[in-house]
Structure formats: C-alpha cells, structure tokens
Structure 1
Amino acid sequence: MAEGESAAVVETDADDLGWSNTRAWVEQSFRPGDRIRAVEKLRGGWTSQMRRLDVEGEGKQYSLVLRSFVKPFFVKHSPGLLTREADVLRLLADTAVPAARLHSVDAAAEHCDHPSLLMSLLPGNLRLDGEDIERKTELLARQLVMIHKLLVPEESRPRTYQAWTSPERVRLPEASKRPKVWQRAVDVIRRPPPAYRPCFLHRDFHPGNVLFTGEGSGLTITGVVDWVETSWGPADLDVAHCSTALALLHGAPAGMQLADHYVAAGGTLSDDPGDHLYWRVLDALAFAPDAEKVAEPWRELGRKDLTSSALAQCLEDYLQALFSRYG
C-alpha cells in the first residue's frame, strides 16, 4: 500500500478499532524492542479495512499496512482471498513488479479479530484526478504488459479467471435514453467465451489500485496493490477492466486509449475484433447499472463528481464507443 496516501489517511484511535487480538498478533511478528507508535486508517477501498502501522524500536523506523476483512461476505471468503494474495506477494517478491512484501497473514482469523494480512508500505499515492491522463494511461499499459509477461510455473499459477457478470445477471439502467445500446451489449456476451492465450492477470487492475509519484514526464508508477483477485486468463480481460475504470473516471475517450497503449508497449490482444469486444463488454456490464459500488471509495478520495447518473452516462457512452470501433 501507499506511503504517500496522506490525503487519504485519517488519524484514529487504535483502541477504538476492535482489533486488540489483531494488534497482539502483529506485534508478535516484530523484532525484539519494536512497537507500534501510531495507527492510521487508510481510505480508498471498500472490500477491506486498511490501517497504516508506524513502527519504532531500536532499529530503523518503518511502516506496515494491515488489511482486515470485516464485512460478512469477505470474512466468509477470506481464507481463499487472503491466502491467494499472500501467495501472489511471495511470487512477486523476486520480480520487477512493484508489489508489497508479505510480512504475515492470518487468513482464517485464528489469532486475529478479523482475517488479516500484514505487508510492507509502498511509496506513492493514488492519482484519480484529471491531470496527466495520457501519461498515466501509457504507464498503466506498460505496467500491465509487465504483469502479463511474468513467467509463472504451472504449480504456482492462480485460479482461472471468473466472470463478474452474465447475460442473466446484468442489471440495466432504468432511465437510459439509449436502451438499445444496453441490449446490444447484453447480446454481445450471449455466447461462449472466445478462445484465448492465458497469462497471469492482476484481475482488478485500475487507477484505484496503482500508486504514482512525480509529475508530467517524471510521473512514475511505484506500486500495484490489491492482489486478492489475481487469476489466470486472457490479457484482454485485464485491459478491459482498466479501460472501464478509466472511462468511468475520465470519460469514454480515456477508456478507449488504453488498449492502443498496451499494444504499443508490446502487449498482445485478440486479433479478432469481435472477441476483443466480448471481453470489453463483459467487464463493462459488470459495473451496470451505475458503478455505484466502485465509485464510493473514489468519492472518498475527492471525486465527488462521480454521481450515479454521471457514472451511468459514462458507462453508456463507453459502450457506444466500443461498438463504433469494434463493431
């Protein structure tokens, strides 16, 4: 997680967080003499409760990030989710991907108040504003290419990807002025998934999970976080997910640029426009009707303009742009 998320940090009283057992578990992993000096609650996510732990002792001061699942749905699925993230962080430790270092994990809450994972703090911060969109999109594309080109031994590969919607599960907006666009989108995914060449996927790669430092030409990615959904599947799907998020954050044109930057950076997408369209639409429809859930943490980080109606309009414009380009 981010060292520079100062704008997204809220000071809090550690004793009011219901985490006495978790704190004891964390401190047991420390070197002799180390102790937690301060605790801050991090904003910007909705699946987990995130805390920054500043540690001091006889050695150098350092900071860690604690992820805890507290919502019933995620507590139920935490053994799989947190074990997967721990495995992925171990896998990435010897690669060039800027991911956190695993410190400790208690996926089933055997020792903690809630299922928890402890990891290193990464430098940088989230950049969800409209500055340097072109540069950010290029960097996101390059980072995805690096992730997708990782050579992962068969025994270390994550689970096969899971689709996050289907024609039967899609909820369409009720007030759309272009209902045919939405119906056409549903029709696009009424087919078996296209054949694909599988690779290592982040599966939830978007600007809300990427940390940056610098400005302009000096803008750099310093961290990629939230690896609980990591999967094995088509590169098109990761590109689709990030493209949808860019469209919601910055408008349809931004969502349409990522795939071009990805290919220019050396990535490979489906040669069949219809197949590529399938993955793009499959991801976009998972946000229907208004992407309210994903936008909640974005609004906490300053994007108050992302209302339900604005998001629905962005999503509709993005679908239309996909049809105009890919058929």
Structure 2
Amino acid sequence: MRGQLAPGERLVGAEVLHGGITAEMRRLTVGAPDGGTRDLVLRTFADPSFATDAERLLNREAGALIYLAGTGVPAPGSVAVDAVGAHCEYPSLLMTHLPGETVLGDRGLEARLPLLARQLVAIHALRPVERPRTYGAWVTADAVVPPPGADAGAWAVAADVIRGPVPRYEGRFLHRDFHPGNVLFDVSGPRITGVVDWVENSWGPADLDVAHCSTNLALLHGPSWGLRFAEAYEEAGGVLAAVARERLYWRLLDALAFASDVRSVARPWRRAGRAELTTRAVEKRLDGYVAALLDALG
C-alpha cells in the first residue's frame, strides 16, 4: 500500500465493507499534505480456503479492470495487485473507490430494474480483443440437492433440464456475478455509478448473466421479480436464446447452484439490513422461483 501513495500522502482511515463472501473488502482513506483525501478499495483473500485460487482470481479481476477503463462501463480502476502476497500480508488487489451505494431493499425496485437491465446490455456489447476464459458452470445435475421442504418432483425435473446437452450460444463478455449487491447507485437519481466485483468475468451466453441477476432478484424480492428481469433485459435491447427450453436451461443452471450455499448468500443480505431474509426464507423463495421457471418456460 505504502508504495502506491504519492509523496506526502498517508493512510488516515480504514473501513470494512460488508457484502463480500469470498474476500475481505476495505475502504482506505488516504490523506494528502494539503488536507484533502481520496478513497481506495482493498480486496484481500485472507481466508486460507481461497489461498490456492487467490492469484488466479486477483489477476483475472485486475486484467478486467484495466480493459474496462476505456469502455465507458463504470468499473473501478486497478491501482496495484499483489496476487501472491509478496508485499501484503495476504494476496490483495488495490483499486479506485467509486461513489454510490448498493441498494437491496424492495422500495424503488421498479425504477432500478430497467437501469440494471440497460447496464447489463452495455456490458454484453463489449468486444475485448483478448477474450476472457470460457464461463464455468457452478453446479451439475447430479450435484443438485433441493433445500429442505422443497418440491422434490419439481427439482428432479429441473435437474434433468440441466443434465441435457448445453445449448448452442453466441458468446458475450460476461460479468458473471452481476446482481444488485455488485451494482452501486446514486439513489437521488436513481442512476448507476458503478459495477464492482469482476473476479468471475468470462465469455459465454448473455442468458447466463441474465439468469444470475434474475435468481438474485427472486431471492431478494420474490420469484416474480426474477421472471421480470429477463423481460427488462430484452426491452433494453438485449438478445436472449430464442427457444424457451434453452432459456430454461440457463436460468436453472444458475438457480440450482444456489441450493448448496443459501446460508452464505443470505448472511451478507441480513448484515445489509434485510433481517427477514433468513436462510429458511431464502430457501423458500428459491423453491418458489424454480417452480415458477418450470411453469413459465417448461
């Protein structure tokens, strides 16, 4: 950190940022000799369980941020990366701080939904000269475990859908973890001021990014909002799979992956003020969303 400061600058404050699952995030306030300040953000992989992946993940995100700097997508700028912890206590990435805040409450969602959709369409319009790695699926049909009390028959049908062949798709630049928790808003607008957490950026179908945001919306706000996001994406000019069965494949490939990690997903939402989103409440919404997808697209 010290080597990234201008002459006379010093670290004057640090604040833990909540919401991350795999890494620790801190906002660092840097003071200048003239009394002014600027903020940076430090991503740190301190958890030993992620130590083997830290170098790959941090270098991937740093590369994405360098590319995004010239695209118009509001992403942080990469300041420095210590992917192996040679200079920091743990593998870390230092980046610029963006204004705005995450908004996870139900109020104002009607206005935010088209903003999220337009931002994702803009991300998918990017054409990097050097493509990122191909997306990875986060679940397989045989690994799907329905949450307690779920409709076992519906989940068996859903697992069979993703057991089938992978649909053909036209590749797009994916954020791969696009959802309200990774989008910053100026709530007075509202308008989007930043998109963060580019660790999982990859190449794949637009449907998969839409699916991930849809699942998060369904769990945060109810299954109907998960269904509505795809409509908003198309209204914003985005193009999804033409065949309903293919759309269903991508939506379920994402939704079913949440079943094994609901507790980790719900915890930061509660810390952000959504106390009603207990693990059980989110499991029920996930079950309802899977059923709704099968009804709508099956």
TM over 0.5: yes
Counterpart selection for 1:265 from 236, 239, 256: 236
Match of 2:22, SS state, is: coil
Counterpart selection for 1:52 from 6, 11, 27: 27
Query: Which residue of structure 2 lines up, in the alignment, with residue 251 of structure 1?
Result: 222
Q: For 1:38, give the aligned amino acid.
A: G
Once residues 90 and 271 of structure 1 are traced to their aligned partners in structure 2, the CA distance between those partners, rounded to angstroms, is 34
Once residues 164 and 148 of structure 2 are traced to their aligned partners in structure 1, the CA distance between those partners, rounded to angstroms, is 25
Per mean C-alpha deviation after superposition, the further-off stretch among 288-297 and 85-94 is: 288-297
Contact in 1 for aligned 2:263/2:279 (Cα 8 Å): yes
Is 1:174 aligned to residue 148 of structure 2? yes
Query: Which residue of structure 2 lines up, in the alignment, with residue 13 of structure 1?
Result: none
Query: Which residue of structure 1 lines up, in the alignment, with residue 282 of structure 2?
Result: 311
- Cα deviation, 1:67-102, whole Å, max 9, x if unaligned, reads 100112222101110000000000000111110011
- Cα deviation, 1:229-269, whole Å, max 9, x if unaligned, reads 00000000000000000000000011111100101111010
Query: Which residue of structure 1 lines up, in the alignment, with residue 18 of structure 2?
Result: 43
Q: For 2:179, give the aligned amino acid.
A: H
Contact in 1 for aligned 2:218/2:286 (Cα 8 Å): yes
Is 1:106 aligned to residue 77 of structure 2? no
Once residues 41 and 134 of structure 1 are traced to their aligned partners in structure 2, the CA distance between those partners, rounded to angstroms, is 30
Taking structure 2 as the reference length, the TM-score comes to: 0.97
Match of 1:150, SS state, is: coil
Q: CA deviation at 1:175?
A: 2.2
Match of 2:163, SS state, is: coil
The change in CA–CA distance for 1:325 and 1:77 in structure 2 (over 3 A counts) is same
- In structure 2, runs of 5+ residues without a counterpart are none
Query: Which residue of structure 1 lines up, in the alignment, with residue 64 of structure 2?
Result: 88
Query: Which residue of structure 2 lines up, in the alignment, with residue 30 of structure 1?
Result: 5
Contact in 2 for aligned 1:270/1:276 (Cα 8 Å): yes
Query: Which residue of structure 2 lines up, in the alignment, with residue 299 of structure 1?
Result: 270
Once residues 38 and 288 of structure 1 are traced to their aligned partners in structure 2, the CA distance between those partners, rounded to angstroms, is 38
Is 1:134 aligned to residue 107 of structure 2? no
Q: CA deviation at 1:51?
A: 1.0
Once residues 167 and 125 of structure 1 are traced to their aligned partners in structure 2, the CA distance between those partners, rounded to angstroms, is 36
- Cα deviation, 1:277-303, whole Å, max 9, x if unaligned, reads 000001000001562111111111111
Once residues 115 and 285 of structure 1 are traced to their aligned partners in structure 2, the CA distance between those partners, rounded to angstroms, is 31
Query: Which residue of structure 1 lines up, in the alignment, with residue 186 of structure 2?
Result: 213
Match of 1:322, SS state, is: helix
Once residues 174 and 295 of structure 1 are traced to their aligned partners in structure 2, the CA distance between those partners, rounded to angstroms, is 16
Q: For 2:47, give the aligned amino acid.
A: K
Contact in 1 for aligned 2:42/2:94 (Cα 8 Å): yes
Is 1:198 aligned to residue 171 of structure 2? yes
- Cα deviation, 1:149-191, whole Å, max 9, x if unaligned, reads 00211xx211100000001211212322x22111111111111
Once residues 262 and 318 of structure 1 are traced to their aligned partners in structure 2, the CA distance between those partners, rounded to angstroms, is 18
Once residues 34 and 263 of structure 1 are traced to their aligned partners in structure 2, the CA distance between those partners, rounded to angstroms, is 47
The sequence identity of aligned pairs, in percent, is: 51
Once residues 48 and 137 of structure 2 are traced to their aligned partners in structure 1, the CA distance between those partners, rounded to angstroms, is 22
Per mean C-alpha deviation after superposition, the further-off stretch among 196-205 and 59-68 is: 59-68
Contact in 2 for aligned 1:68/1:115 (Cα 8 Å): yes
Match of 1:51, SS state, is: strand
Aligned length: 297
The change in CA–CA distance for 1:290 and 1:56 in structure 2 (over 3 A counts) is closer
Contact in 2 for aligned 1:159/1:232 (Cα 8 Å): yes
Q: For 1:288, give the aligned amino acid.
A: A
Q: For 2:104, give the aligned amino acid.
A: L
Once residues 280 and 16 of structure 2 are traced to their aligned partners in structure 1, the CA distance between those partners, rounded to angstroms, is 30
- In structure 1, runs of 5+ residues without a counterpart are 1-25
Match of 1:286, SS state, is: helix
Aligned pairs for 1:129-168 (under 5 A) are 129-153=105-129, 156-168=130-142
Once residues 265 and 297 of structure 1 are traced to their aligned partners in structure 2, the CA distance between those partners, rounded to angstroms, is 29
- Cα deviation, 1:195-224, whole Å, max 9, x if unaligned, reads 000010000000111111124xx2111110
